[in-house]
Structure 1
C-alpha cells in the first residue's frame, strides 16, 4: 500500500521556515526514524557554540553524563573563592568608577573578582551619587563556577554571571560625550545564491520522491544552501557580547525547528505547523527584541530599576522568488505566531534552565542601562570620563573569533505530503527605545529612590563592591 507523507527538512542555523510542496511516496522506515531520534538526542545535549579562526560557527557538546565533571568544578570553586564573595546576596553593589580606578591601580591586571563583577547575576538597579562620583550597578550575586563547557555560572543558582567584558562593550556603545548606538543586531541568513541553488535543486527532484531518497535530498539541500551568513551590527563582532547574541539566535532556531529539545515544556514550530497553511515559497523569520517597557526611574532621576524579563520573540513572514530574493508576506502563519508567543511566555523558564538565554537577557539589561547612563548624563554628573574602559588599547575586549558563517545542517522527518525548509532571523535591539517617555515607568511608591538612599558608600580604600 502506498500513501503520501511529508518530508519536513529542517535547516539549522536559520530562524524560520519556508515550505515547498513535494509529493512523496511510501512511509518512513524504522531505520530513518531511529536516525532522526538519535540526531535530536545528540543536539539536545548541546552546550554552546564554538567559532573557529575562519569565523565558522559550530555546535559544541561537552559530555558529562554523570555530572562528575561539574561537581568537581563546583567543589574547586567553593574551596578557592573567598567566603564573602561566594555567599549569595540579594543586592550586591558594584561602583563602576571605583572598579575602573582599582584596575588602573593594578596596572591593568584584572582579577576574577573584577572579571565577573563580584558574582553579579543580573543588573537590577543603577544608582548615581554625584557627591562622591559613584555610578553603582546593583543586583543579586553569588560566587561562580566555570562549567566544563566554559560558561561562568552562579554556584547555587546556575545563572550566568554578568561579565565585565560585556559591560565594557555596552558602555562603549553609549560613551560620554558621543552619540549612542541606535541599533544592535545579529542575523543568520542564507545567501540569495544559496536560496536560488536550493530552488534549482528542488526543481531537479521533480514532483515525486520516495523515502529511499531522503538522504539524497538532505545532502542536496545542505550542499545547495551552503554556508549561511552571520551579520553583526552595532557591536564589535570579535567580542563575547557578539558570540552570545549569535548563540542565542542559533539555539532558538534549533528549538523552533525541533533539533534541540528545550529544557521546558515548549511546542516547537514544526510540531505546530499545518503544511496545508504554508505557501510553496514562504519563509518564516523569528527575532529576539527587548521588552522596552522595562525601566522605572525615580523622580529625581538618580536611580533606575530594570523590571520584567526583558526579552520577546517576534516573527515576520516572507516570500522567496526563484532567484533567491525575499519580500514581506501579507499575513503571518498561525503556527509561527503561536511559537513566538509561546517562546516569549516561556522565556523566564528557559533562561533559568538554558544559560545562553539568561546571558542574552543580561546583555539587553546592560545596553539599556548604558543608554540610560548617557541619556541622564550620569557620566557628567559623576565627572567620569571612562578613559580606561573606553579604550580598546587599554582594556581589550575584542579578543574572540568573529562569527561569520554557519553551515546548513539538515535533518528529515515525515509529516503530511510537503517538503519544508527553515530560514532567517536574528536579534534586534534599539536600547534608546526603552527610554522614551511612553515606555518609562514611574517610581510611584518611591521604592527605587528609597533603595538608593539606603545604600551606604562608606567604603575602605580600594574597595569597589559591597553587600
Structure 2
C-alpha cells in the first residue's frame, strides 16, 4: 500500500533597501596601502572647473578610513585603504553627503515597496492556500498565481537626490539582497531563506515532526551595526575604527487594505539569512560591486558626520560653501518608478518508509519580494588614543605628500 503526501510551504519576503568562511584578502581593510586626498586642492580644482577624471574619482579614494587636520597648510586630508579591485568614491558622492549633513537633511534611505492592491490580492490567494496538494502541478499553478500577482515594487528614495549615484547604489544593493535571499543569485556560504526553509523541513521530516504550512512576510534592510560608528582620535587626526554594515529584519503583517506594518516578531529563516549576510558582508562586498559601493558610502557619511560634529573645518580655511551652494552634479542617472517584483520556487522530494506506508514529501518553499543610512553619533563614540600609533600615522601621511599642490598621493603605512 502506498500513500503520498505533498506539502506546500511558502515564504513571502518583502524588502524595504554569515557558515564557515575565510576572510577575503582582497578587502581593503586587509591592505597596507593608503591613498590620501587634499580637500584644499580638491576644492581649488573644482572651483576652477578643472574636474578631470582624477578629480571626479577623488584620486581613487574609496574605503575611507579617516582624516587629518593640517593647520600649517590650512588643509584637511582624507585617507583610506586601497586595493586594485575596490571601487572608488566620486566627487558627486562627496558633495551629496556634505549637503545631506551640513543642511541637516533626513538621513539617506531607500525602499522597494509593494503596491497595496497587490498585497490585497496576495492575501486573497493565501487564504485559499491548502496545506496538502494532490500534485506538483497544482502547487506550481498556485505559485504562478502568486508570482503574477506580486507586480512591480515602487522605488522610494529619501535624503539624497533621486537621480544621484548614491541613490542608485542603495537601490542596486537592496535589489541584489532581495535576489540573494530568494536564491535567484548565490554567494558561497550564504544560504537563501529558501535553502534555510528546505533544511528545516528536511530535519522535521527526519524527526517525524509536523511541517507547518503557511505564509510569512518579512522585510530586510541594510543598516550600520548597533553601537557603530566608533572613532579613535588624536591630535589633529580622527580614525574610523568600527563601521560595520549589517542586515536587519522584521516580520510584517498586512492590513485589510493591503498596507504592511511591522509585527514586532521575527521569522527564523529571515533571521538566519540576515545574520549570515551580516557576518559575511566583507566577503560579500568583494564579490558584489553594489555592496562595496554601499560600504564606501556608509563610511563616507560617518566620517563627514564626525567632521561636522567636531567642527573640524574651523581649524583651517575651508567651509564647504562652494559645495553647498554652487557645485553642479557631474552625473545624474534616471531612476525608474519601480522594479519588477521577484519570486522563486524549487521542489525537493524526500521519501521514507514507515510500516506499510511510503511517505513522499514534495517540499515547495516559495519566496518573493532597503537601506537605512541612519548614523547616530554621540561623544561616547570618540575615544582618545594616547599612544604613538596615531601620531606616527599622522606624520607618515604628512611627510609622504610629494608637494604642496598634490591632489592625492599614496602612503604605505
Distance across 1 between alignment mates of 2:243 and 2:284:
11
Distance across 2 between alignment mates of 1:406 and 1:99:
37
- Measure how far apart 1:89 and its partner are: 7.4
Q: Which residue of 2 is the match for residue 15 of structure 1?
A: 15
* Matched-pair contact (CA < 8 Å) for 1:388–1:395: no
* Matched-pair contact (CA < 8 Å) for 1:95–1:465: yes
**Are positions 1:191 and 2:115 aligned together?**
yes
Distance across 1 between alignment mates of 2:93 and 2:287:
21
TM-score by length of 2: 0.79
* Matched-pair contact (CA < 8 Å) for 2:344–2:366: no
**Most deviating of 369-378 and 210-219:** 210-219
Structure 1 gap segments, 5+ residues each = 17-87, 143-153
- Measure how far apart 1:419 and its partner are: 6.0
2:298 maps to which of 346, 364, 372:
364
**Are positions 1:445 and 2:369 aligned together?**
no
1:99 maps to which of 42, 53, 59:
42
Q: Which residue of 2 is the match for residue 148 of structure 1?
A: none
- Measure how far apart 1:8 and its partner are: 4.8
2:310 maps to which of 365, 373, 376:
376
Structure 2 gap segments, 5+ residues each = 17-30, 202-209, 349-361
- Residues 1:360 and 1:114: Cα distance change in structure 2 (over 3 Å): same
- Residues 1:268 and 1:399: Cα distance change in structure 2 (over 3 Å): same
- Measure how far apart 1:279 and its partner are: 7.8
Q: How do residues 29-428 of structure 1 correspond to structure 2 at under 5 angstroms?
A: 90-105=33-48, 108-141=49-82, 154=84, 158-175=85-102, 178=103, 180-203=104-127, 208=133, 210-213=135-138, 216-262=141-187, 264-273=188-197, 274=200, 280=214, 282-291=216-225, 292-300=227-235, 302-308=236-242, 310-391=244-325, 394-397=327-330, 399-414=332-347, 420-423=366-369, 426-428=370-372
Distance across 2 between alignment mates of 1:341 and 1:453:
40
- Measure how far apart 1:403 and its partner are: 4.2
Question: Which has more radius of gyration?
Answer: 2
1:430 maps to which of 348, 361, 374:
374
SS at match of 1:4: coil
* Matched-pair contact (CA < 8 Å) for 1:226–1:407: yes
SS at match of 1:455: helix
- Residues 1:173 and 1:330: Cα distance change in structure 2 (over 3 Å): closer
TM-score by length of 1: 0.71
Distance across 2 between alignment mates of 1:297 and 1:218:
52
* Matched-pair contact (CA < 8 Å) for 1:201–1:224: no
Distance across 1 between alignment mates of 2:247 and 2:373:
12
2:8 maps to which of 6, 9, 13:
6
Aligned length: 368
* Matched-pair contact (CA < 8 Å) for 2:150–2:342: no
- Residues 1:121 and 1:243: Cα distance change in structure 2 (over 3 Å): same
SS at match of 1:168: helix
SS at match of 1:94: strand
* Matched-pair contact (CA < 8 Å) for 1:239–1:398: yes
**Are positions 1:464 and 2:407 aligned together?**
yes
SS at match of 1:379: helix
Q: Once superposed, what is the RMSD of the aligned Cα atoms?
A: 2.9
Distance across 1 between alignment mates of 2:100 and 2:147:
37
Q: Encode CA deviations 1:124-181: one digit per residue, 9 max, x unaligned.
A: 1211123422111112236xxxxxxxxxxx3xxx211222221221112123xx4x33
Distance across 2 between alignment mates of 1:298 and 1:231:
37
- Residues 1:307 and 1:404: Cα distance change in structure 2 (over 3 Å): farther
- Residues 1:404 and 1:133: Cα distance change in structure 2 (over 3 Å): farther
- Measure how far apart 1:355 and its partner are: 2.0
- Measure how far apart 1:195 and its partner are: 0.3
Q: Encode CA deviations 1:33-80: one digit per residue, 9 max, x unaligned.
A: xxxxxxxxxxxxxxxxxxxxxxxxxxxxxxxxxxxxxxxxxxxxxxxx
Distance across 2 between alignment mates of 1:320 and 1:190:
11
Distance across 2 between alignment mates of 1:229 and 1:442:
45
- Measure how far apart 1:112 and its partner are: 1.4
Q: Which residue of 1 is the match for residue 21 of structure 2?
A: none
* Matched-pair contact (CA < 8 Å) for 2:230–2:240: yes
